[in-house]
Structure 1
Amino acid sequence: MNKTPLNFMYRFCSGAVTVAGTLALVLLSVFALIFRTWIPMNKNEEVYVQFQNPFVWLAILAVIGLLIVLAPQIGRIPEHTLFLCLGCLYAVAGCFLIFNTDPSVRSDAYGVFESALSMNEGRFSSLEPGGYLYIYPHQLGLATFERILMAFSADITFFFLANLVMMIAINFIQWKCCQMLFDNGLARRYTILLSFLFLPGLFSILFVYGLIPGLLFLYIGVYGLISWLYGRGKFAPAAAVFGVGMACLIRNNYLIGAIAVFIILFMDFLKEVRWKSLILALAIVAAALIPGKLLTWGYEAAAGADLSRGIPKIMWVTMGLQDNEDSSFVGGWFNGYNYNVYMDKDMDSETSGEQAKEDLNDRVSELLGDPAKAAVFFGTKAISTWTDPLFQSIWSGPLEDMGQYTHKGILKNIYTGQEGYEILMVLCAAILFIIYGGAVLGIFLRPGGMKCGLDLKVMFPFLFLVGGFLFHLVWETKSQYVFPFVMMLIPGASFGLVLFKERLERLRRKTGGAK
């Protein structure tokens, strides 16, 4: 084996990612088994951490049992047939959802949509003081993407349908990534099944806020990354750069994905001393950062003035560390702090930023002075972020107290928080645990187990998860933000379930032989 310093650094980094990813997944598995996060279907975004519904444990056993018992039948279904059938059912369910709800959006999604619509009509008031993009200039990329879509239609229903198509495309690319990663037909079929059973993806199609488009482009980038590592496809570098760049332009949160791609490419350079990987890594950084700057300059040229710096980023960190003890908000979740302070300071980025720094220093001193309180705060924040089985996908849809209505009994039952909502909570909580737990099994039961580091080709979801977990410990959080991190774990979880099934079969044969 190569013993050069670069190779030593590679092996150290690989081991560190493996250990960090495993610890995060074990922690999340325990959280998902014991707790759940529940959000009532009203406009207040109240967040409650509760003990898990015991029916979830039965649902976990039932789903795992079905996957194992029906494995021979599942294995005989051609992959493309399975994907086509489930994709058609998914499309029908999505259309039923879309055409039986009011075509409307609210809050930030409304602000971005209206800004894009007004700019397409030649009005740039959203860039002026008090306008949405003046306050939140980091949304320029998403607004521009929506402006492009509006060239086809400015109807909200069209955007819902576009989200549906993109969600199916995400599932397709996930399946294709799994085909490259795992030479195991059952793991690939489990990936198809779990991708479509991960219902937050379906309900998120009514959330027009860049979550799904950004995730689609990130999947394109990851597909390019995996293809590159396998030495396949002359367009792999272009796919990686384009996909990651577009994802970051649409949603800044996907910068975590860009960092993960950069780290993997840099580790490939350390492992193989492959300079092309280092060049591609630098290209990923450029793609993640430069388009946003160019877009800002373009709008400044069009407006004939410098754009606002908007709310300083430090304010999201300050908000993310606040307790919110006197409200229904869980600590670290959005509470309006950044907007309120920014407006109180007359939309002055510098003075509001200074205020946020002072408040942040006071809060950090408080947490450092009381470790027990800090542990409870960060533990509750992590649990509330990662144990909402619906990831706010239903809450982000139509709410009656916001004047948004559904027009079928089953949808009304779900979107008003009745029995249908609770049933979905149970089913999705079972799937969530299976994803976390399956990914853990995939690490422990693979050849070599924890003794060898993760291969670069399968590393992205785990590194992406660690980045997201650490980021949302300090940044303002919502469960909807972490939906992409969980979605990416599905292929690894599927492989883990296959390894678990094979281990059970070997144990059964060994036990049967002993008798």
Structure 2
Amino acid sequence: MEGATSVFRKIYRMVVVIFATAIFSTIFVMCMISTCYITSEEYEITFFCKNNIFINVAFLVVSTSILVAMKVKGIFSNLQEKLNDDSLFKKAKNTLLLIILCLGLTWVFITQFVPGSDQLDVMSSAYKIRCGDYSELVPGGYLDRWNNQLGLTLIEYLFGRVFGDYNVMGFQFLNCFGLALLYLKLVDIMDKLHISRMAQIMTLFLGVLFIPMIMYTSFVYGTIWSVALALWAFDFELKYLSDNKVVDLVGCALLIGLAIQVKNNVLIMMIAMIIYGLICSIKDIRSIKRSLLLVIIIGVSFIAFSKAPQIIVEKKTGYSLSQGVSSWSFVAMGLQDENHAPGWSNGYNYTTYEESNCITAVQEERAKVDIADRMALFKENSHYAFEFFSQKIASMWTEPTYQSFWINQIRNHRVSFPEWLDWLMSTNGYTFVSGILGYYQLLLFSGCLLWVILEDSNQFINKSFFAVTIIGGFLFHLAWEAKSQYSITYIVLMIPIAVMGYEQFINKLCCAIESLKTGEGLKKSSARYTALLSVLVMAAYVGIYKFDGTQCLTADSGYYEKYLEAMVMPYTAETVRDINIINAERRHYKELAEYFVQLLGENGIDY
């Protein structure tokens, strides 16, 4: 049994290393070549702009040199020694978490963005159900089309009953606590995996600097809470794998089931949890039973939570819900490139559902035909396929703000912004911040790659959960609809990986230098094979990119400069003064209409 387990673990590690190396190498080299920018209006048009490779290389060299110098000077050692004090470590951790919470609360308070699109549709659907208006459940209604939103709708229904309907700021403030919980669970997981306290504190510090996630607190949606709950579920899974207590497994199953209802995308995290749990727990016959129990309880929870919202809504309303928009339509749309960046939303899933008379099976058949046509085109035209997937990947992973600006720029806000905030939310402000976050992103991708290359083979599997989740998300969105806002849930998981990667790199580099000084020489390591694979992947991509000759990742540099010159931000303030003006205008129109009706009546004309 031990022999078979060892083989499974080696295969698992090899597969994760190969995929993680290929993915991190690809997005790293893309990040070196280009940066993606998104328009500051509702159209979600992506510009692919050229990066200065020499500046990027210089930034990495300088950053690494500073970190190595800090290591040599003993700064990290002194900090680590201080963090060994439990009370000091706890104080540092809580302080950073409090800063993250306060930044989120401050952002919500000073912006007061008004939700729109899916955010508003979900809130409105919850309100309508409470009022007995079931129009969103009929064929073509919002919840009929997007029945994946039933879970979040029910959550907002309950939220509205407690805190009031359309309590936008209440939900946004709740997001702030969800963000703090997310980072808390990140470091709790790192602690259970015996990752150094220095790495935990650095993860929180980078969380403070990661502005996009803080800006997402104003997004009245399940982005933050879904990841927070999923990480909490994984924390329970680690407890179960350590202590073998069924109560921990039940907690894990309930939380991941709830997380998926908040936002379906974390289904990928659930699959990663199951894979991780199986690999880490199977050791003997007894452990097989424990592994099966893990799969069964999580599976039952997933099915129960998936069915419950529909059952509850149908029982309350008396409506029988359809399957809604077919999942295949998202894949078909993810392989198209009309109007937006390749694979981004173009309304295909919406229009084909309507054209199929809101019959899921009919839409599914059409989507499968369209998928087959696109795959045939990719097969026939390798040049087009390379350009399509290059731009799709880059648009998702190398837009440094992950639409944290865009989701707010297109929304009204109920306060008059101060000048600095007006500038920040302008196109120029977005471009400036994107430039800074581009370096942050570069450090993340390079750090993740260093971790895959340098992590000790005996510890790799135990620390692989974040990487497995990212692999799943990357592969999933190769086919599925793309948006850079979908990437942010994986980017935040890269932070601890990148920190561990640079920690490994600095430690091993200093050890290597010391060995050379003492004449011991360098020890051979399996890391050289992973490093070689990374170099080959990057060389292959750059070679094909140069040979292809279209320069698809830098094609829009000139266009974006012209866009910046011409773009005028729309007026989105919605202060009390603005609302009063709108109300006054409406009263004026009403009074004017009543006057004209009266005038017509006086002249014997019915209206």
Instruction: Tell me whether 1:479 sits opposite 2:484 in the alignment.
Output: yes
Counterparts of 1:315 and 1:394 in 2: how far apart (Å)?
28
| Contact kept in structure 2, 1:186 and 1:498, CA below 8 Å | no
| Residue pairs, 1:277-316, within 5 angstroms | 277-316=291-330
The Cα shift of 1:342 comes to 1.8
Aligned with 2:261 (options 249, 261, 274): 249
Correspondence for 1:37? 36
Distance 1:443 1:399, change over 3 A: same
Aligned with 1:176 (options 163, 188, 195): 188
What is the aligned residue count? 504
Counterparts of 1:67 and 1:236 in 2: how far apart (Å)?
39
Counterparts of 1:314 and 1:351 in 2: how far apart (Å)?
11
Bigger Cα displacement from structure 2, 424-433 vs 46-55: 46-55
The Cα shift of 1:104 comes to 0.9
2:142 maps to a residue whose letter is Y
**Structure 1: runs of 5 or more not aligned:** none
The Cα shift of 1:109 comes to 1.3
Deviations 1:365-418 (CA, angstroms, capped at 9, x unpaired): 111112222122112211111111111111112426x67776122221121222
Aligned with 1:218 (options 230, 236, 239): 230
Correspondence for 1:46? 45
2:3 maps to a residue whose letter is K
1:364 maps to a residue whose letter is M
| Contact kept in structure 2, 1:393 and 1:480, CA below 8 Å | yes
Aligned with 1:188 (options 196, 200, 203): 200
Correspondence for 1:343? 354
Correspondence for 1:385? 396
% identity of equivalent residues: 25
Correspondence for 1:505? 510
The Cα shift of 1:12 comes to 1.6
2:18 maps to a residue whose letter is V
Aligned with 1:94 (options 104, 123, 131): 104
Counterparts of 2:194 and 2:281 in 1: how far apart (Å)?
23
| Residue pairs, 1:77-156, within 5 angstroms | 78-150=88-160, 151-154=162-165, 155-156=167-168
1:428 maps to a residue whose letter is L
| Residue pairs, 1:341-420, within 5 angstroms | 341-399=352-410, 407-418=417-428, 420=429
Counterparts of 2:65 and 2:173 in 1: how far apart (Å)?
35
Instruction: Tell me whether 1:163 sits opposite 2:175 in the alignment.
Output: yes
The Cα shift of 1:453 comes to 8.0
Aligned with 2:450 (options 441, 455, 458): 441
SS at match of 2:243: coil
| Contact kept in structure 1, 2:32 and 2:52, CA below 8 Å | no
| Contact kept in structure 1, 2:203 and 2:496, CA below 8 Å | yes
| Contact kept in structure 2, 1:173 and 1:223, CA below 8 Å | yes
The Cα shift of 1:59 comes to 5.2
The Cα shift of 1:252 comes to 1.3
2:367 maps to a residue whose letter is A
Counterparts of 1:139 and 1:72 in 2: how far apart (Å)?
49
**Structure 2: runs of 5 or more not aligned:** 520-607
Aligned with 2:248 (options 229, 236, 240): 236
Aligned with 1:488 (options 481, 493, 496): 493
Deviations 1:214-242 (CA, angstroms, capped at 9, x unpaired): 11111111111222333376643123212
Counterparts of 2:425 and 2:408 in 1: how far apart (Å)?
8
| Contact kept in structure 1, 2:97 and 2:204, CA below 8 Å | no
The Cα shift of 1:429 comes to 1.9
| Residue pairs, 1:265-284, within 5 angstroms | 265-273=277-285, 274=287, 275-284=289-298
Instruction: Tell me whether 1:468 sits opposite 2:473 in the alignment.
Output: yes
1:194 maps to a residue whose letter is L
Counterparts of 2:243 and 2:48 in 1: how far apart (Å)?
46
Bigger Cα displacement from structure 2, 262-271 vs 333-342: 262-271
Return the TM-score normalized by structure 1: 0.91
1:28 maps to a residue whose letter is I
Distance 1:141 1:500, change over 3 A: same
SS at match of 1:205: helix
Bigger Cα displacement from structure 2, 243-252 vs 155-164: 243-252
Bigger Cα displacement from structure 2, 218-227 vs 93-102: 93-102
Deviations 1:80-103 (CA, angstroms, capped at 9, x unpaired): 233333333333332332122244
Bigger Cα displacement from structure 2, 77-86 vs 463-472: 77-86
2:150 maps to a residue whose letter is L
Deviations 1:70-125 (CA, angstroms, capped at 9, x unpaired): 63565446332333333333333323321222441111111111112222333332
